[in-house]
Amino acid sequence: MCNTKKRVALVTGSAKGIGKAIVWKLAENGYDVVINYLHSKKEAELLQKHIQETFPVTCLCIQADVSSEVEVDRMVHNIEEQLGGVDVLVNNAAVDLSNLFHLKTAEEFRKTLDVNVVGAFNCAVRVKKHMMEQEYGRIINISSTNGMNTYYPMSIDYDASKAALNSLTHDLAVQFAPYIHVNAVAPGFIGTETELDGYDEEFLRQECEKILVGRYGEPEEVAHLVCFLVSDQADFINNTIVRIDGGQIGS
């Protein structure tokens, strides 16, 4: 079970998919939560409404592009004004501009790195002051097995960004020690709306054959892991990349 103290958790990119599952689970466990989104305003506001109707917590909904220092500063300042500051940061916002390798562009590559890596850096740096002042903080970066040993040339920019995010996790853990714990979660094939959209049954079957448990994961399973890692029960876990992939083999 997550920490029962009234702490504030910011989950970037949390209107849909894994981020939505994480922010819901944190709210369920008593955290005041902040839903961050860029384009999915309708989904974010509907999620906010459901959380407020279901759990006795405060839930904010803030639009911000995490790749922009100015917008991140505005978002965190807003949280500080209303809730006092961010105690738990989950860097989930990401883009995956998968395309045939020969159609890839440097512009796409830069955008992927800006959101997936620079965005995580922007948010971590901005929340650091509050966390250091109170001598407590938890940062979870949502990485991917694509950054470790799953390689698809059509997602070369995404793969590179997740490998960089793993490196960023280690560097931030060292820089922010001892009060702020920084870990990463590396999901494998997770059955979100966007992950399953457009794939035929044969492709899904082939992908599941690479997973030892014989199925793809659920967003809620990632949320459970994140919830544990930010809890007091995980106080001795730091500077670690935790895979959650069902025993995925091959790529």
- Catalytically active residues, by annotation: 158
Please give the order of strands across the beta sheet that includes 137-142. Answer: 59-63, 32-37, 8-11, 88-91, 137-142, 180-187, 241-244
Q: How far is CA 178 from CA 8, 72, 115, 132, 241, in A?
A: 20, 24, 27, 9, 18
Asked whether the beta carbons of 188 and 244 are under 8 A apart, the reply is yes
